[in-house]
């Protein structure tokens, strides 16, 4: 360790997978994110909740490096992967080639095969994306994200377009993959139950600021009937402006 | 699935298939019945002297002429010349169209420089340029090939440009999160994504290449199918003219089939989706 001195980013990150300091993002007159601070520990699973237009996507885009950071500072690992709500597979490449997109060399094919088996798509290695079901396509997208061994995996409402049963199966898959690959996860969702079932910590973003932050100290798999679960659920729903 | 059904009901499926094929045959016959009827009436009219051969040769005469033109090498030689011109013009026109579309599609500056003049030039009927082309390039092979290339480049350009511009920006965004270089984005996303539109453009281009060639060969040429037809006009040989027309029709059909075949091969990922319309 002492042989290679830390770069600036690594120094800032020391101890954290992600560190956001005083990050502000404006689009013209509107301020979408205001003076945002957020740390994510290595291997931590964080859920980000919020209404549409609360700034979730803007934050995700900035973390994915798709947006410039003008005010404030974002330190993130170089190995970041994103899974979007739509699978975004290239229809003209088969599943394996989609997973290895941008990775040169034949040796990646074996790795792709292994990871596709891991996400339960071992039987569709050569399939065209147009022939996949919604759940299968999202599994392929997960494989494409994981083959790069990311230090931070971002999931942008990845299961919103899936049916309820498939969504439950995919949530379980994400938990398994997270445990095995040991990466920090930032899950953007507006499903409170999904956040509570998966995350270590849930954040509620409202009008560009993190208004509520909730630790979820439950062991997994979690039961919805658990009184602690129920109480956290009430709290998050309340923070989102839903009162029962 | 089909196999399964066949195994379960072998006898029934076989008879079902038989009735299907008979029905198909009947439909096939019906579709061509009217064509056959026209041909028979045409032939009968010619033999009864109702259709003077000076105006329209009879079908039998046309077949006969086509055969003798083949035997004395007139038809094959002229066909080869025409094919050569159309092929050279197509290759040149497709190359220019693709190059211009890439420039316009991949950069804003390129779009400003290339697209406006192309959109303006496309409204110009290319065939109206024939006199100018003769003045500029004489009456050799060059003006004919250039005329074909000129006609071909527009559908190729317009369709490929549209294809590049209509690529889902979300796929480009994804590629950026994966750290793909600009060159790899072009190679892996933009070009394959625009390929269906390019092929539609090429199909139009092939059709247009024959159209341009007909005119180019009839205005001034000493060889080619068009020349053969113009020559026949001087001797009132309607049979030779009709042979030329038939050859053009067959060439048009064949070249369209070839491009369709290429589409099927190159776009296997689309499965059995229908070929979409394009811009001419």
**ipTM for this model:** 0.86
Virtual CA dihedral for B14, B19, B22, B28, nearest 10 degrees? -110
pLDDT in tens, A200-231: 999 999 888 998 999 999 998 888 889 999 99
Virtual CA dihedral for A191, A194, A200, A206, nearest 10 degrees? 0
Distance from C-alpha of B35 to C-alpha of A153, rounded to nearest angstrom:
65
Digitized pLDDT (tens) for each residue of chain B, 280 residues in all: 333 333 444 444 445 555 667 877 888 788 788 889 999 999 999 999 898 888 899 999 999 999 999 999 999 999 999 999 999 999 999 999 999 999 999 999 999 999 999 999 988 888 888 888 889 998 889 999 999 999 999 999 999 999 999 999 999 999 999 999 999 999 999 999 999 999 999 999 999 999 899 888 888 788 999 999 999 988 889 999 999 999 999 998 899 899 999 998 999 898 755 444 555 5
Q: Is residue A111 part of a domain?
A: yes
CATH number for the region B59-270 comes to 1.10.3720.10
Length in residues, chain B = 280
A94 phi/psi in degrees, rounded to 5: -70, 175
Interface residue A92 vs chain B (CB under 8 A): yes
Distance (Å) from the alpha carbon of A83 to chain B's nearest alpha carbon: 9
pLDDT for res B4? 39
Q: Where are the domains of chain B?
A: 2-47, 59-270
Nearest to B180 among A84, A102, A131 (CB): A102
Please report, for the domain that includes residue A130, its CATH number: 3.40.50.300
Q: Identify all chain B residues contacting A83, using CB atoms and an 8 Å cutoff.
A: none
**Degrees to nearest 5, angle at CA B174 with A86 and A12:** 115
CB proximity list for B268: less than 8 A, separation 6 or greater? A128
CA distances from B203 to A5, A52, A163, B275 (A): 60, 45, 41, 11
pLDDT for res A190? 85
The answer on pLDDT for A232 being more than 50 is: yes
* B4 or A168, which is more confident: A168
Q: Is residue A88 part of a domain?
A: yes
- Taking CB atoms and an 8 Å limit, are B177 and A102 in contact across chains? no
CA B229 to chain centre: 21
pLDDT in tens, A133-147: 999 999 999 999 999
Q: Identify all chain A residues contacting B189, using CB atoms and an 8 Å cutoff.
A: 90
Interface residue B60 vs chain A (CB under 8 A): no
Distance from C-alpha of B158 to C-alpha of B156, rounded to nearest angstrom:
6
Among B159, B169, B170, B168, which Cα is nearest to B196's?
A: B159
Distance (Å) from the alpha carbon of B172 to chain A's nearest alpha carbon: 10
What is the count of structural domains for chain A? 1
Q: Identify all chain A residues contacting B193, using CB atoms and an 8 Å cutoff.
A: 90, 92
B5-24: burial string, b at 16+ Cβ within 10 Å, e else: eeeeeeeeeeeeeeeeeeee
Distance (Å) from the alpha carbon of A159 to chain B's nearest alpha carbon: 17
Question: Taking a C-beta distance cutoff of 8 angstroms, is the pair A22, A62 a contact?
Answer: no
Question: Taking a C-beta distance cutoff of 8 angstroms, is the pair A56, A209 a contact?
Answer: no
Distance from C-alpha of B219 to C-alpha of A57, rounded to nearest angstrom:
63
For chain A, positions 121-150, list CB contacts with chain B under 8 A.
128-131, 144, 148
- Taking CB atoms and an 8 Å limit, are A131 and B271 in contact across chains? yes
Distance from C-alpha of A196 to C-alpha of A206, rounded to nearest angstrom:
18
Residue numbers of the domain that contains A127: 80-148
């Amino acid at each position: 360790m002492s042989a290679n001195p830390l770069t600036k980013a690594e120094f800032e990150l020391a101890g954290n997978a992600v560190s956001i300091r005083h990050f502000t993002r404006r689009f013209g007159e509107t301020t979408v994110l205001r003076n945002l601070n957020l740390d994510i520990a290595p291997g931590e699973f964080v859920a980000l909740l919020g209404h549409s237009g609360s700034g979730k996507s803007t934050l995700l885009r900035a973390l994915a490096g798709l947006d410039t950071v003008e005010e404030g500072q974002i330190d993130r690992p170089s190995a970041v992967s994103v899974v979007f709500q739509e699978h975004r597979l290239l229809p003209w490449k088969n599943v394996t080639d989609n997973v290895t997109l941008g990775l040169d060399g034949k040796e990646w094919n074996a790795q792709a095969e292994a990871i596709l088996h891991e996400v339960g798509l071992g039987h569709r290695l050569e399939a065209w994306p147009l022939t996949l079901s919604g759940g299968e396509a999202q599994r392929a997208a997960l494989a494409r994200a994981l083959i790069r061994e990311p230090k931070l995996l971002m999931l942008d409402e990845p299961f919103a377009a899936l049916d309820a049963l498939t969504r439950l199966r995919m949530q379980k898959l994400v938990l398994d993959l997270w445990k095995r690959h040991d990466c920090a996860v930032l899950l953007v969702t507006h499903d409170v139950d999904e956040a509570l079932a998966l995350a270590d910590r849930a954040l509620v973003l409202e009008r560009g600021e993190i208004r509520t932050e909730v630790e979820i100290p439950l062991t997994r798999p979690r039961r919805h009937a658990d009184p602690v679960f129920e109480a956290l659920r009430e709290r998050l729903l309340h923070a989102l402006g839903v009162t029962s | 699935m089909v196999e399964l059904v066949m195994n379960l009901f072998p006898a029934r499926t076989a008879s079902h298939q038989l009735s299907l094929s008979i029905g198909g045959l009947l439909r096939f016959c019906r579709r061509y019945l009217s064509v056959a009827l026209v041909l028979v009436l045409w032939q009968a009219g010619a033999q009864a002297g109702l259709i003077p051969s000076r105006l329209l040769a009879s079908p039998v005469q046309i077949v006969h002429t086509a055969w003798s033109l083949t035997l004395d090498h007139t038809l094959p030689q002229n066909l080869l010349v025409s094919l050569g011109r159309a092929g050279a013009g197509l290759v040149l026109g497709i190359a220019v169209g693709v190059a211009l579309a890439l420039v316009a599609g991949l950069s804003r500056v390129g779009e400003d420089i290339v697209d406006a003049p192309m959109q303006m030039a496309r409204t110009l009927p290319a065939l109206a340029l024939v006199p100018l082309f003769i003045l500029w390039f004489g009456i050799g092979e060059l003006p004919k090939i250039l005329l074909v290339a000129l006609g071909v480049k527009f559908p190729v350009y317009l369709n490929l440009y549209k294809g590049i511009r209509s690529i889902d920006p979300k796929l480009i965004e994804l590629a950026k999160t994966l750290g793909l270089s600009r060159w790899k984005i072009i190679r892996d996303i933009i070009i394959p994504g625009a390929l269906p539109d390019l092929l539609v453009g090429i199909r139009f281009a092939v059709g247009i290449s024959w159209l341009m060639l007909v005119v180019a060969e009839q205005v001034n040429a000493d060889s080619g199918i068009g020349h053969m037809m113009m020559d026949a006009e001087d001797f009132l040989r309607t049979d030779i003219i009709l042979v030329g027309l038939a050859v053009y029709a067959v060439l048009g059909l064949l070249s369209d089939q070839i491009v369709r075949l290429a589409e099927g091969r190159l776009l296997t990922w689309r499965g059995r989706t229908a070929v979409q319309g394009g811009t001419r």
